[in-house]
A and B are shown apart, each in its own frame.
Chain A
Protein backbone atom coordinates (compact mmCIF):
# COMPACT_ATOMS: atom_id res chain seq x y z
CA UNK A 1 0.00 0.00 0.00
CA UNK A 2 2.66 2.46 1.07
CA UNK A 3 4.70 1.76 -2.06
CA UNK A 4 1.70 2.41 -4.29
CA UNK A 5 0.73 5.60 -2.46
CA UNK A 6 4.35 6.75 -2.69
CA UNK A 7 4.33 6.05 -6.41
CA UNK A 8 1.03 7.91 -6.89
CA UNK A 9 2.39 10.85 -4.93
CA UNK A 10 5.60 10.79 -6.91
CA UNK A 11 3.64 10.84 -10.18
CA UNK A 12 1.70 13.88 -8.98
CA UNK A 13 4.67 15.79 -7.56
CA UNK A 14 7.71 14.69 -9.54
CA UNK A 15 8.24 18.03 -11.25
CA UNK A 16 8.36 20.15 -8.07
CA UNK A 17 10.35 17.44 -6.29
CA UNK A 18 12.98 17.33 -9.04
CA UNK A 19 13.14 21.13 -9.25
CA UNK A 20 13.51 21.40 -5.48
CA UNK A 21 16.21 18.74 -5.61
CA UNK A 22 18.14 20.64 -8.27
CA UNK A 23 17.78 23.89 -6.36
CA UNK A 24 18.83 22.31 -3.07
CA UNK A 25 21.84 20.69 -4.75
CA UNK A 26 22.86 23.91 -6.49
CA UNK A 27 22.75 26.28 -3.51
CA UNK A 28 25.81 24.92 -1.64
CA UNK A 29 27.74 24.72 -4.92
CA UNK A 30 26.89 28.34 -5.61
CA UNK A 31 28.68 29.20 -2.38
CA UNK A 32 31.98 27.88 -3.68
CA UNK A 33 31.80 29.03 -7.29
CA UNK A 34 34.25 31.75 -6.50
CA UNK A 35 35.56 30.33 -3.24
CA UNK A 36 38.28 28.01 -4.56
CA UNK A 37 41.87 28.73 -3.61
CA UNK A 38 41.06 30.79 -0.55
CA UNK A 39 43.79 29.10 1.41
CA UNK A 40 46.31 31.76 2.34
CA UNK A 41 44.10 34.56 1.03
CA UNK A 42 44.18 37.87 2.91
CA UNK A 43 41.65 38.14 5.77
CA UNK A 44 39.67 40.81 3.94
CA UNK A 45 39.05 38.51 0.99
CA UNK A 46 38.08 35.62 3.30
CA UNK A 47 35.66 37.86 5.21
CA UNK A 48 34.12 39.00 1.94
CA UNK A 49 33.73 35.40 0.81
CA UNK A 50 32.19 34.36 4.12
CA UNK A 51 29.73 37.23 3.85
CA UNK A 52 28.76 36.11 0.34
CA UNK A 53 28.45 32.49 1.53
CA UNK A 54 26.17 33.60 4.34
CA UNK A 55 24.05 35.63 1.95
CA UNK A 56 23.57 32.54 -0.22
CA UNK A 57 22.91 30.57 2.96
CA UNK A 58 19.98 32.88 3.69
CA UNK A 59 18.24 31.37 0.67
CA UNK A 60 18.36 27.84 2.10
CA UNK A 61 15.52 28.25 4.65
CA UNK A 62 13.33 29.62 1.87
CA UNK A 63 14.00 26.50 -0.19
CA UNK A 64 13.26 24.36 2.87
CA UNK A 65 10.04 26.26 3.43
CA UNK A 66 9.09 25.97 -0.25
CA UNK A 67 9.72 22.21 -0.16
CA UNK A 68 7.55 21.83 2.94
CA UNK A 69 4.73 23.96 1.58
CA UNK A 70 4.67 22.37 -1.88
CA UNK A 71 4.83 18.80 -0.64
CA UNK A 72 2.45 19.46 2.25
CA UNK A 73 -0.25 20.90 0.03
CA UNK A 74 0.61 18.70 -2.94
CA UNK A 75 0.16 15.51 -0.92
CA UNK A 76 -3.58 16.14 -0.80
CA UNK A 77 -4.12 17.92 -4.10
CA UNK A 78 -5.11 14.80 -6.09
CA UNK A 79 -7.60 13.73 -3.41
CA UNK A 80 -9.03 17.25 -3.11
CA UNK A 81 -9.61 17.28 -6.86
CA UNK A 82 -11.68 14.09 -6.57
CA UNK A 83 -13.43 15.30 -3.39
CA UNK A 84 -11.75 12.40 -1.56
CA UNK A 85 -14.33 9.96 -2.93
CA UNK A 86 -11.77 7.45 -4.19
CA UNK A 87 -9.73 7.64 -0.99
CA UNK A 88 -12.82 7.21 1.18
CA UNK A 89 -13.90 4.15 -0.77
CA UNK A 90 -10.64 2.33 -0.03
CA UNK A 91 -10.73 -0.33 2.68
CA UNK A 92 -8.48 1.41 5.19
CA UNK A 93 -9.29 3.60 8.16
CA UNK A 94 -9.09 7.32 7.54
CA UNK A 95 -6.24 7.62 10.05
CA UNK A 96 -4.24 4.97 8.23
CA UNK A 97 -4.79 6.64 4.88
CA UNK A 98 -3.61 9.96 6.34
CA UNK A 99 -0.49 8.27 7.66
CA UNK A 100 0.17 6.64 4.29
CA UNK A 101 -0.06 10.03 2.56
CA UNK A 102 2.05 11.67 5.27
CA UNK A 103 4.72 9.00 5.11
CA UNK A 104 4.84 9.16 1.31
CA UNK A 105 5.19 12.96 1.40
CA UNK A 106 7.93 12.69 4.02
CA UNK A 107 9.78 10.22 1.79
CA UNK A 108 9.58 12.63 -1.14
CA UNK A 109 10.86 15.37 1.12
CA UNK A 110 14.05 13.34 1.44
CA UNK A 111 14.85 14.11 -2.22
CA UNK A 112 15.70 17.81 -1.66
CA UNK A 113 17.17 16.94 1.74
CA UNK A 114 19.50 14.38 0.15
CA UNK A 115 20.25 16.79 -2.65
CA UNK A 116 21.34 19.54 -0.28
CA UNK A 117 23.38 17.00 1.68
CA UNK A 118 25.21 15.84 -1.43
CA UNK A 119 25.58 19.44 -2.68
CA UNK A 120 27.00 20.50 0.67
CA UNK A 121 29.47 17.60 0.73
CA UNK A 122 30.58 18.27 -2.85
CA UNK A 123 30.98 21.96 -2.03
CA UNK A 124 32.95 21.12 1.09
CA UNK A 125 35.44 18.83 -0.62
CA UNK A 126 35.84 21.13 -3.58
CA UNK A 127 37.16 24.10 -1.63
CA UNK A 128 40.38 24.51 0.33
CA UNK A 129 39.32 26.47 3.38
CA UNK A 130 41.56 29.02 5.05
CA UNK A 131 42.49 28.33 8.64
CA UNK A 132 39.78 29.26 11.12
CA UNK A 133 36.98 28.67 8.63
CA UNK A 134 34.96 25.46 8.93
CA UNK A 135 32.37 23.65 6.80
CA UNK A 136 29.13 22.38 8.34
CA UNK A 137 27.53 20.15 5.67
CA UNK A 138 25.85 17.76 8.09
CA UNK A 139 24.50 20.55 10.29
CA UNK A 140 23.13 22.35 7.24
CA UNK A 141 21.49 19.16 5.97
CA UNK A 142 19.99 18.31 9.36
CA UNK A 143 18.69 21.84 9.69
CA UNK A 144 17.20 21.73 6.20
CA UNK A 145 15.55 18.42 7.06
CA UNK A 146 14.02 19.77 10.25
CA UNK A 147 12.90 23.08 8.72
CA UNK A 148 11.33 21.48 5.66
CA UNK A 149 9.68 18.80 7.81
CA UNK A 150 8.14 21.38 10.15
CA UNK A 151 6.74 23.35 7.20
CA UNK A 152 5.58 20.13 5.55
CA UNK A 153 3.76 18.97 8.69
CA UNK A 154 2.07 22.36 9.14
CA UNK A 155 0.88 22.63 5.55
CA UNK A 156 -0.07 18.96 5.34
CA UNK A 157 -2.33 19.53 8.36
CA UNK A 158 -3.80 22.72 6.92
CA UNK A 159 -4.40 21.03 3.56
CA UNK A 160 -6.26 18.10 5.11
CA UNK A 161 -8.30 20.19 7.52
CA UNK A 162 -11.91 20.99 6.89
CA UNK A 163 -13.02 24.24 5.31
CA UNK A 164 -14.16 25.37 8.76
CA UNK A 165 -10.70 24.80 10.22
CA UNK A 166 -9.06 26.61 7.29
CA UNK A 167 -11.44 29.52 7.81
CA UNK A 168 -10.59 29.53 11.50
CA UNK A 169 -6.88 29.87 10.64
CA UNK A 170 -7.56 32.64 8.14
CA UNK A 171 -9.94 34.28 10.60
CA UNK A 172 -7.21 34.16 13.26
CA UNK A 173 -4.76 35.92 10.95
CA UNK A 174 -7.41 38.45 9.97
CA UNK A 175 -8.21 38.98 13.66
CA UNK A 176 -4.55 39.75 14.41
CA UNK A 177 -4.37 42.30 11.61
CA UNK A 178 -7.66 43.83 12.74
CA UNK A 179 -6.43 44.04 16.34
CA UNK A 180 -3.32 45.86 15.10
CA UNK A 181 -5.44 48.26 13.06
CA UNK A 182 -7.64 48.99 16.09
CA UNK A 183 -4.63 49.51 18.38
CA UNK A 184 -3.06 51.80 15.79
CA UNK A 185 -6.35 53.70 15.45
CA UNK A 186 -6.44 54.35 19.20
CA UNK A 187 -2.85 55.47 19.15
CA UNK A 188 -1.65 52.56 21.31
CA UNK A 189 2.00 51.78 20.73
CA UNK A 190 1.68 48.00 21.23
CA UNK A 191 1.09 45.71 18.25
CA UNK A 192 -0.07 42.10 18.22
CA UNK A 193 1.08 40.67 14.89
CA UNK A 194 4.83 41.22 15.39
CA UNK A 195 4.53 39.74 18.88
CA UNK A 196 2.86 36.61 17.52
CA UNK A 197 5.43 36.43 14.71
CA UNK A 198 8.24 36.70 17.25
CA UNK A 199 6.65 33.96 19.33
CA UNK A 200 6.42 31.70 16.30
CA UNK A 201 9.94 32.33 15.06
CA UNK A 202 11.85 32.42 18.33
CA UNK A 203 12.73 29.37 20.37
CA UNK A 204 10.66 27.41 21.33
CA UNK A 205 8.29 28.66 18.61
CA UNK A 206 7.53 26.07 15.91
CA UNK A 207 9.14 28.16 13.15
CA UNK A 208 12.30 29.05 15.05
CA UNK A 209 14.17 26.46 12.99
CA UNK A 210 13.84 28.78 9.97
CA UNK A 211 15.57 31.68 11.66
CA UNK A 212 19.27 31.94 12.45
CA UNK A 213 22.51 31.17 10.65
CA UNK A 214 22.24 28.88 7.67
CA UNK A 215 25.77 29.18 6.28
CA UNK A 216 27.61 26.13 5.02
CA UNK A 217 30.92 27.80 5.84
CA UNK A 218 31.55 29.73 9.02
CA UNK A 219 34.25 30.49 11.47
Chain B
Protein backbone atom coordinates (compact mmCIF):
# COMPACT_ATOMS: atom_id res chain seq x y z
CA UNK B 1 0.00 0.00 0.00
CA UNK B 2 1.27 3.49 -0.83
CA UNK B 3 1.69 6.17 1.76
CA UNK B 4 -0.22 9.43 1.45
CA UNK B 5 2.22 11.20 3.78
CA UNK B 6 5.75 10.23 4.59
CA UNK B 7 8.32 12.25 6.47
CA UNK B 8 11.86 11.25 7.27
CA UNK B 9 14.06 12.83 9.89
CA UNK B 10 12.09 16.06 9.79
CA UNK B 11 13.60 18.85 11.87
CA UNK B 12 12.35 22.35 12.53
CA UNK B 13 13.10 24.89 15.20
CA UNK B 14 10.92 27.83 16.25
CA UNK B 15 12.64 30.08 18.74
CA UNK B 16 14.73 28.73 21.58
CA UNK B 17 12.19 26.52 23.25
CA UNK B 18 10.42 24.57 20.55
CA UNK B 19 11.89 22.02 18.25
CA UNK B 20 10.69 19.18 16.06
CA UNK B 21 13.53 16.71 15.85
CA UNK B 22 13.76 13.71 13.55
CA UNK B 23 10.03 13.36 12.96
CA UNK B 24 9.12 10.31 10.89
CA UNK B 25 5.44 10.05 10.02
CA UNK B 26 3.84 7.40 7.84
CA UNK B 27 0.22 7.86 6.84
CA UNK B 28 -1.17 5.11 4.67
CA UNK B 29 -3.36 5.97 1.71
CA UNK B 30 -7.03 5.59 2.54
CA UNK B 31 -6.51 5.68 6.28
CA UNK B 32 -7.98 8.07 8.82
CA UNK B 33 -4.98 9.12 10.81
CA UNK B 34 -5.48 10.87 14.12
CA UNK B 35 -2.62 13.15 15.05
CA UNK B 36 -2.89 13.47 18.77
CA UNK B 37 -0.94 15.68 21.10
CA UNK B 38 -1.31 18.18 23.90
CA UNK B 39 -1.49 21.90 23.16
CA UNK B 40 1.86 23.21 22.00
CA UNK B 41 3.21 19.78 21.08
CA UNK B 42 3.85 20.83 17.47
CA UNK B 43 0.80 19.51 15.64
CA UNK B 44 0.07 22.74 13.76
CA UNK B 45 3.76 23.28 13.02
CA UNK B 46 3.99 19.76 11.60
CA UNK B 47 0.94 20.40 9.41
CA UNK B 48 2.42 23.66 8.16
CA UNK B 49 5.63 21.81 7.34
CA UNK B 50 3.62 19.22 5.43
CA UNK B 51 1.82 21.93 3.47
CA UNK B 52 5.05 23.69 2.57
CA UNK B 53 4.19 26.80 4.59
CA UNK B 54 7.30 26.36 6.71
CA UNK B 55 10.68 25.15 5.55
CA UNK B 56 12.29 22.36 7.59
CA UNK B 57 15.89 22.59 8.68
CA UNK B 58 16.42 18.98 7.74
CA UNK B 59 14.56 15.96 6.46
CA UNK B 60 12.24 15.07 3.60
CA UNK B 61 8.50 15.18 3.13
CA UNK B 62 6.55 13.28 0.54
CA UNK B 63 2.81 13.72 0.05
CA UNK B 64 0.67 11.77 -2.41
CA UNK B 65 3.83 10.39 -3.96
CA UNK B 66 5.27 13.83 -4.62
CA UNK B 67 7.99 15.84 -2.98
CA UNK B 68 7.41 18.83 -0.69
CA UNK B 69 8.07 21.69 -1.40
CA UNK B 70 9.09 21.00 -5.03
CA UNK B 71 5.66 19.79 -6.20
CA UNK B 72 3.60 21.95 -3.86
CA UNK B 73 1.00 23.31 -6.32
CA UNK B 74 0.21 19.79 -7.59
CA UNK B 75 0.01 18.45 -4.02
CA UNK B 76 -2.20 21.29 -2.82
CA UNK B 77 -4.45 20.77 -5.84
CA UNK B 78 -5.34 17.38 -4.39
CA UNK B 79 -5.27 18.33 -0.71
CA UNK B 80 -8.09 19.83 1.29
CA UNK B 81 -6.97 21.82 4.31
CA UNK B 82 -8.95 23.03 7.28
CA UNK B 83 -6.75 25.34 9.36
CA UNK B 84 -6.75 25.58 13.13
CA UNK B 85 -7.91 29.19 13.02
CA UNK B 86 -10.18 30.54 10.30
CA UNK B 87 -8.28 32.43 7.63
CA UNK B 88 -10.95 33.20 5.06
CA UNK B 89 -11.40 36.81 4.00
CA UNK B 90 -14.00 38.14 6.45
CA UNK B 91 -15.58 40.65 4.07
CA UNK B 92 -16.66 37.95 1.61
CA UNK B 93 -20.04 36.24 1.74
CA UNK B 94 -20.35 32.46 1.92
CA UNK B 95 -21.07 32.21 -1.82
CA UNK B 96 -18.21 34.57 -2.71
CA UNK B 97 -15.76 32.56 -0.61
CA UNK B 98 -17.00 29.39 -2.29
CA UNK B 99 -16.58 30.88 -5.77
CA UNK B 100 -13.06 32.09 -4.93
CA UNK B 101 -12.10 28.66 -3.65
CA UNK B 102 -13.67 26.88 -6.61
CA UNK B 103 -11.63 28.96 -9.05
CA UNK B 104 -8.42 27.36 -7.77
CA UNK B 105 -9.49 23.70 -7.81
CA UNK B 106 -10.31 21.77 -10.96
CA UNK B 107 -11.98 19.03 -8.96
CA UNK B 108 -14.26 21.41 -7.03
CA UNK B 109 -17.76 19.94 -6.87
CA UNK B 110 -20.17 22.89 -6.84
CA UNK B 111 -23.25 20.68 -6.44
CA UNK B 112 -21.73 18.97 -3.41
CA UNK B 113 -20.76 22.38 -2.00
CA UNK B 114 -24.37 23.52 -2.35
CA UNK B 115 -25.56 20.33 -0.69
CA UNK B 116 -23.16 20.79 2.24
CA UNK B 117 -24.16 24.43 2.52
CA UNK B 118 -27.76 23.32 2.93
CA UNK B 119 -26.85 20.59 5.41
CA UNK B 120 -24.72 22.96 7.48
CA UNK B 121 -27.42 25.64 7.42
CA UNK B 122 -25.12 28.27 5.93
CA UNK B 123 -26.78 31.15 4.08
CA UNK B 124 -25.09 32.07 0.83
CA UNK B 125 -25.44 35.82 1.32
CA UNK B 126 -24.06 35.91 4.88
CA UNK B 127 -20.77 37.70 5.35
CA UNK B 128 -18.04 35.60 6.95
CA UNK B 129 -17.43 38.37 9.49
CA UNK B 130 -21.04 37.91 10.63
CA UNK B 131 -20.83 34.13 10.99
CA UNK B 132 -20.40 32.42 14.33
CA UNK B 133 -17.23 30.47 15.08
CA UNK B 134 -19.06 27.22 14.42
CA UNK B 135 -20.39 28.45 11.08
CA UNK B 136 -16.91 29.55 9.96
CA UNK B 137 -15.61 26.13 10.96
CA UNK B 138 -18.35 24.50 8.90
CA UNK B 139 -17.53 26.72 5.92
CA UNK B 140 -13.88 25.68 6.07
CA UNK B 141 -14.89 22.03 6.15
CA UNK B 142 -17.36 22.62 3.29
CA UNK B 143 -14.66 24.16 1.10
CA UNK B 144 -12.17 21.40 1.86
CA UNK B 145 -14.66 18.59 1.20
CA UNK B 146 -16.11 20.14 -1.96
CA UNK B 147 -12.62 20.04 -3.46
CA UNK B 148 -13.05 16.25 -3.54
CA UNK B 149 -9.46 15.91 -2.35
CA UNK B 150 -7.33 12.76 -2.24
CA UNK B 151 -5.90 13.93 1.05
CA UNK B 152 -7.69 15.90 3.71
CA UNK B 153 -5.67 17.65 6.40
CA UNK B 154 -7.69 18.97 9.30
CA UNK B 155 -6.02 20.94 12.05
CA UNK B 156 -8.22 20.75 15.14
CA UNK B 157 -11.34 21.24 13.00
CA UNK B 158 -13.75 21.03 15.90
CA UNK B 159 -11.74 22.90 18.51
CA UNK B 160 -13.96 25.35 20.36
CA UNK B 161 -17.14 24.22 18.62
CA UNK B 162 -20.25 23.30 20.53
CA UNK B 163 -21.25 19.60 20.60
CA UNK B 164 -23.99 20.00 17.99
CA UNK B 165 -21.74 21.69 15.44
CA UNK B 166 -18.96 19.23 16.26
CA UNK B 167 -21.26 16.34 15.52
CA UNK B 168 -22.39 17.95 12.23
CA UNK B 169 -18.81 18.44 11.12
CA UNK B 170 -17.69 14.94 12.07
CA UNK B 171 -20.78 13.39 10.46
CA UNK B 172 -20.06 15.23 7.19
CA UNK B 173 -16.47 14.09 7.38
CA UNK B 174 -17.33 10.45 7.97
CA UNK B 175 -20.00 10.61 5.26
CA UNK B 176 -17.50 12.07 2.80
CA UNK B 177 -14.86 9.49 3.60
CA UNK B 178 -17.32 6.64 3.18
CA UNK B 179 -17.86 7.76 -0.44
CA UNK B 180 -14.28 7.20 -1.55
CA UNK B 181 -10.71 6.51 -0.63
CA UNK B 182 -9.68 9.89 0.71
CA UNK B 183 -6.89 9.85 3.25
CA UNK B 184 -7.67 11.93 6.30
CA UNK B 185 -5.04 13.40 8.57
CA UNK B 186 -6.77 15.00 11.51
CA UNK B 187 -5.04 16.66 14.42
CA UNK B 188 -6.69 17.10 17.77
CA UNK B 189 -6.12 17.10 21.46
CA UNK B 190 -9.63 15.72 21.97
CA UNK B 191 -8.89 12.05 22.40
CA UNK B 192 -12.45 10.73 22.30
CA UNK B 193 -13.15 12.53 19.06
CA UNK B 194 -10.38 10.67 17.27
CA UNK B 195 -11.23 7.39 18.96
CA UNK B 196 -14.54 7.30 17.12
CA UNK B 197 -13.34 8.00 13.60
CA UNK B 198 -9.66 7.14 13.18
CA UNK B 199 -8.05 3.84 12.30
CA UNK B 200 -4.47 4.97 12.86
CA UNK B 201 -3.05 7.19 15.50
CA UNK B 202 0.16 9.16 15.93
CA UNK B 203 0.99 10.82 19.22
CA UNK B 204 3.18 13.87 19.26
CA UNK B 205 4.69 15.39 22.36
CA UNK B 206 7.17 18.26 22.53
CA UNK B 207 7.99 17.80 18.87
CA UNK B 208 8.65 14.06 19.13
CA UNK B 209 6.51 11.27 17.74
CA UNK B 210 5.85 9.17 20.83
CA UNK B 211 3.83 6.45 19.11
CA UNK B 212 2.36 5.60 15.74
CA UNK B 213 0.16 2.53 15.55
CA UNK B 214 -3.25 1.24 14.45
CA UNK B 215 -6.05 2.54 16.63
CA UNK B 216 -7.26 -0.98 17.44
CA UNK B 217 -3.83 -1.91 18.74
CA UNK B 218 -3.64 1.25 20.77
CA UNK B 219 -7.10 0.82 22.25
CA UNK B 220 -6.87 -2.88 23.00
CA UNK B 221 -3.27 -3.29 23.97
CA UNK B 222 -2.92 -0.68 26.71
CA UNK B 223 -3.67 -2.12 30.12
CA UNK B 224 -3.05 -1.40 33.76
CA UNK B 225 -1.72 -4.49 35.59
CA UNK B 226 -1.56 -5.09 39.32
CA UNK B 227 1.49 -7.25 39.88
CA UNK B 228 2.68 -8.85 43.13
CA UNK B 229 6.34 -9.85 43.55
CA UNK B 230 7.20 -7.91 40.43
CA UNK B 231 10.73 -8.53 39.11
CA UNK B 232 13.20 -5.73 39.73
CA UNK B 233 14.19 -5.64 36.09
CA UNK B 234 11.86 -6.47 33.24
CA UNK B 235 13.77 -8.24 30.50
CA UNK B 236 12.40 -10.20 27.58
CA UNK B 237 8.78 -9.29 28.26
CA UNK B 238 6.46 -9.83 25.27
CA UNK B 239 4.79 -6.49 26.01
CA UNK B 240 6.09 -2.96 26.57
CA UNK B 241 6.11 -1.64 30.11
CA UNK B 242 5.24 2.01 29.92
CA UNK B 243 5.33 2.74 33.63
CA UNK B 244 5.60 0.99 37.00
CA UNK B 245 4.54 2.39 40.31
CA UNK B 246 4.73 0.68 43.72
CA UNK B 247 1.54 0.64 45.78
CA UNK B 248 0.81 -1.37 48.98
CA UNK B 249 3.34 -4.15 48.46
CA UNK B 250 2.50 -4.60 44.84
CA UNK B 251 3.19 -2.69 41.66
CA UNK B 252 0.94 -1.03 39.13
CA UNK B 253 2.20 -1.41 35.60
CA UNK B 254 0.91 0.31 32.53
CA UNK B 255 1.76 -1.83 29.54
CA UNK B 256 1.30 -1.70 25.80
CA UNK B 257 0.76 -4.65 23.45
CA UNK B 258 -0.84 -6.78 26.12
CA UNK B 259 -2.59 -10.06 25.32
CA UNK B 260 -4.12 -12.48 27.90
CA UNK B 261 -1.63 -15.27 27.08
CA UNK B 262 1.18 -12.98 28.23
CA UNK B 263 0.16 -13.61 31.85
CA UNK B 264 2.28 -16.78 31.57
CA UNK B 265 5.40 -14.72 31.19
CA UNK B 266 4.71 -13.10 34.56
CA UNK B 267 4.34 -16.55 36.13
CA UNK B 268 7.71 -17.63 34.74
CA UNK B 269 9.19 -14.45 36.23
CA UNK B 270 7.81 -15.57 39.59
CA UNK B 271 5.38 -12.67 39.71
CA UNK B 272 1.68 -12.86 40.36
CA UNK B 273 -0.85 -11.05 38.23
CA UNK B 274 -3.73 -9.79 40.40
CA UNK B 275 -5.74 -7.69 37.99
CA UNK B 276 -5.85 -6.50 34.38
CA UNK B 277 -7.68 -3.22 33.80
CA UNK B 278 -8.61 -1.86 30.36
CA UNK B 279 -7.51 1.72 29.89
CA UNK B 280 -9.54 3.96 27.66
CA UNK B 281 -7.84 5.96 24.95
CA UNK B 282 -7.47 9.05 27.08
CA UNK B 283 -5.81 7.19 29.92
CA UNK B 284 -3.54 5.43 27.44
CA UNK B 285 -2.70 8.77 25.85
CA UNK B 286 -1.86 10.30 29.22
CA UNK B 287 0.30 7.32 30.17
CA UNK B 288 2.15 7.45 26.88
CA UNK B 289 2.91 11.12 27.37
CA UNK B 290 4.01 10.51 30.93
CA UNK B 291 6.36 7.77 29.82
CA UNK B 292 7.73 9.79 26.94
CA UNK B 293 8.63 12.57 29.35
CA UNK B 294 10.02 10.36 32.14
CA UNK B 295 11.50 7.09 30.85
CA UNK B 296 10.27 3.91 32.55
CA UNK B 297 12.49 2.52 35.30
Q: Do A and B come from one complex?
A: yes
Write the residues of chain A forming the contact surface with B, with a CB cutoff of 8 angstroms: 1, 3-5, 7-8, 11-12, 78, 81-83, 85-86, 88-93
Q: Are A82 and B92 in contact (CB under 8 A)?
A: no
- CB contacts between A and B, total, < 8 Å: 57
Q: How far is it, in angstroms, between the C-alpha of A83 and the C-alpha of B88 when the chains are bound? A: 11
Q: Does B81 contact A (CB under 8 A)?
A: yes
Across-interface contacts of B100 in A (CB, < 8 A): 4-5, 7-8
B residues 64-102 with Cβ under 8 Å of A? 72-77, 81, 83, 85, 87-92, 96, 99-100
Q: Does B103 contact A (CB under 8 A)?
A: yes
Across-interface contacts of A89 in B (CB, < 8 A): 51, 53, 76, 81, 83
Q: Does B112 contact A (CB under 8 A)?
A: no
Q: Are B74 and A91 in contact (CB under 8 A)?
A: yes
> Which residue of B has the minimal Cβ distance to A93?
B73
Q: Are B89 and A8 in contact (CB under 8 A)?
A: yes
Across-interface contacts of A86 in B (CB, < 8 A): 83, 87-89
Across-interface contacts of B96 in A (CB, < 8 A): 7-8, 11
The interface size bin for chain B is 20 to 34
Q: How far is it, in angstroms, between the C-alpha of A92 and the C-alpha of B104 when the chains are bound? A: 8
Q: How far is it, in angstroms, between the C-alpha of A6 and the C-alpha of B63 when the chains are bound? A: 31
Q: How far is it, in angstroms, between the C-alpha of A88 and the C-alpha of B74 when the chains are bound? A: 13
Tell me the minimal C-beta distance from A164 to chain B in angstroms: 15
Across-interface contacts of B74 in A (CB, < 8 A): 91
Tell me the minimal C-beta distance from A126 to chain B in angstroms: 38
Q: Identify 11 new A-B residue pairs, CB closer than 8 A, beyond the known A89-B76, A91-B74.
A: A1-B104, A7-B100, A8-B92, A82-B89, A85-B85, A88-B51, A88-B53, A89-B53, A90-B104, A91-B77, A91-B105
Tell me the minimal C-beta distance from B147 to chain A in angstroms: 9
Q: Are B83 and A85 in contact (CB under 8 A)?
A: yes
A3, A12, A85, A91: which contacts B76 (Cβ < 8 A)?
A: A91
Tell me the minimal C-beta distance from B157 to chain A in angstroms: 14
Q: Does B30 contact A (CB under 8 A)?
A: no
Across-interface contacts of B87 in A (CB, < 8 A): 82-83, 85-86
Q: Does B52 contact A (CB under 8 A)?
A: yes
Across-interface contacts of B73 in A (CB, < 8 A): 91-93
Q: Are B103 and A3 in contact (CB under 8 A)?
A: yes
